[in-house]
Amino acid sequence: MSTKPKELSFKTALLPTGWVDDVAVCVDASGDISNVASGARNPQNGCLIPGLANLHSHAHQRAMAGLAERSGSNSDSFWAWRKTMYQFLHAMQPHHLRAVAAQLYLEMLIAGYTRVAEFQYLHHQPNGKPYDNVAEMSLATLAAAQELGIGMTSLPVHYQFGGFGGQPVSDQQARFFNEPESFLRIVENVRAASTADLNSNVGVAGHSLRAVDKQSFSQVLSDRADPDGPVHMHVAEQLKEIDDCVAWSGARPVDYCLDHFDVNSQWCLIHATHMSESETQRLAASGAVAGICPTTEANLGDGFFNATPYLQAGGQFGIGSDSHISVSPTEELRWFEYGQRLLHKSRNQLSGGPGRSTGRNLFELAVRGGAQACAHSAGAIEVGKRADFVVLDVDAATLTGRQGDELLDSWIFSGNSNCVADVYVGGQQVISAGRHPQQDQVEQNFRATMRELRGTL
């Protein structure tokens, strides 16, 4: 989408050089930043910051957020939660997914996300038969993103096996199954639908080492049309996964990925919760991004990411809302830090050094890591970057009297009120004064869809 060139001005902005007052940002017709200058006259009374990418999303899981919080007869775990998820998604059809995704992407924009990486593995009909358009479900999420105006990195997910060592998929996993050839047809159909949209791109994902093997996923990587696109994979989220991987291969999951695939800056390993010291150092050195999803990882009882040594070794990270038990970048960043405080029994674990702002360090690292994981030219307010940014309401009670790094520290750590006033994606304003122009219709469609889905369970 192209638009007329425009100039926007703000009272204060976070630039690569730091905080600058009275900033004017020029956006060209393609939605890229063409100039940034100080000395703006009559600037808008807001705080301009780069937009965050939500680097890990399963849109269909938004429909079941909060519905798995009842204790079972045995110890609850990720695996028990997964059974509930399988039961729920059995009823979901493309029109359901589009409505649910639209609601989700609306919530993301309102919260301050400007892009989403949609890790989409719900491909086929409930009986496993492909839709007439094999990419129908992925196209439903893309259509929702384009409708709402959020940037989209589509990540169709290759899912071929039901467990380590090439176990067959179960009946519950029939909707996910593809061999490399049929999977790549999905990718190409999504790519064709994304080509004209400057806010969309396409990568590939391997669901996990349980669901792909070296041969099948290597074929996907070698045969895909865009060899420079992003590559994502779940890895080392659960201790059972570690044990099963070692029993199958003799190696831990992160080590296995690093040994058998060319893991580099195109890659994003989602979760990587349980790493040895050597895996932590190796992943940091690879240039890949660790996709951290703190609220989902806490909800599922996964464990704590090995953050301090990883970041000290120069590792990159971004954040994702994953199962969407929460859709808030501030809560993800807050709980990433709080998890480390609980683990190490000390404050300001991820500040990056003495005297530095924890909020700003977390935010800037997550912005850069998210942009890298999405292969998206954003992540900073500077010439040549995509005009994806957020305007914070400096008159909000949470931010009143704050300046500089205090704005980010207070936004991230002080309460849950939404301080996001406006949101721009590719230079287009999609949120104004906290609302989206299509908000009422999207919410109405979501309510109707949820009533229909619950009636089938």
Q: Which of 433, 36, 409, 77 is nearest to 238 (CA)?
A: 77
Angle at the Cα of 56 (from 103 to 131), degrees rounded to 5? 65
Q: Which of 97, 184, 111, 187 is nearest to 145 (CA)?
A: 97
Asked whether residue 337 carries a pLDDT value surpassing 60, the answer given is yes
Cα separations in angstroms, 63 against 43, 325, 388, 427: 40, 10, 27, 30
What pLDDT was estimated at residue 90?
86
What pLDDT was estimated at residue 276?
99
On whether the pTM is more than 0.85, the answer is yes
What pLDDT was estimated at residue 400?
97
8-state DSSP, 8: E
Q: How many residues does the chain have?
A: 457
**Both structure tokens of 175:** 């909707």
Is-same-fold flag (6-50+381-439; 52-373)? no
What pLDDT was estimated at residue 456?
75
Q: 278 Cβ partners below 8 Å, 6+ apart?
A: 255
What pLDDT was estimated at residue 109?
99
Q: Domain limits of the chain?
A: 6-50+381-439, 52-373
Average pLDDT for residues 230-244, to the nearest whole number? 98
Contact (Cβ atoms closer than 8 angstroms) between residue 157 and residue 119 = yes
For domain 6-50+381-439, the question of CATH label 2.30.30.40 is answered with no
Query: Residue 125: exposed, middle, or buried by beta-carbon count in 10 A (0-12, 13-18, 19+)?
Result: middle
Alpha carbon distance 193, 201 (integer Å): 10
What pLDDT was estimated at residue 110?
99
Asked whether residue 307 carries a pLDDT value surpassing 90, the answer given is yes
CATH of span 52-373: 3.20.20.140
What pLDDT was estimated at residue 416?
84
String of DSSP letters for 188-247: HHHHHHHTT-TTEEE-EEE--TTT--HHHHHHHHHHSS-TTS-EEEEES-SHHHHHHHHH
Asked whether residue 1 carries a pLDDT value surpassing 70, the answer given is no
Which element (helix H / strand E) includes 440? helix 439-455
What pLDDT was estimated at residue 113?
99
**Both structure tokens of 129:** 């038969």
Contact (Cβ atoms closer than 8 angstroms) between residue 251 and residue 215 = no
Please give the residue that has the higher pLDDT: either 23 or 69.
23
What pLDDT was estimated at residue 408?
98
What pLDDT was estimated at residue 75?
63
Angle at the Cα of 132 (from 127 to 135), degrees rounded to 5? 85
269: β partners: 233, 290
Angle at the Cα of 78 (from 416 to 245), degrees rounded to 5? 125
What pLDDT was estimated at residue 78?
62
pLDDT digit string (tens) for 133-181?
999 999 999 999 999 999 999 999 999 999 999 999 999 999 999 999 9
Alpha carbon distance 290, 272 (integer Å): 7
Chain mean pLDDT for the chain? 96
Query: Residue 247: exposed, middle, or buried by beta-carbon count in 10 A (0-12, 13-18, 19+)?
Result: exposed
What pLDDT was estimated at residue 89?
82
String of DSSP letters for 283-334: HHHHTPEEEE-HHHHHHTT-----HHHHHHTT-EEEE--BT-S---HHHHHH
What pLDDT was estimated at residue 81?
63
Q: Which residues are catalytic?
A: 271, 322
pLDDT digit string (tens) for 50-103?
999 999 999 999 999 998 887 776 666 565 666 677 777 888 999 999 999 999
Query: Quick one: what percent of the chain has pLDDT higher than 70?
Result: 96
Asked whether residue 305 carries a pLDDT value surpassing 80, the answer given is yes
What pLDDT was estimated at residue 67?
85
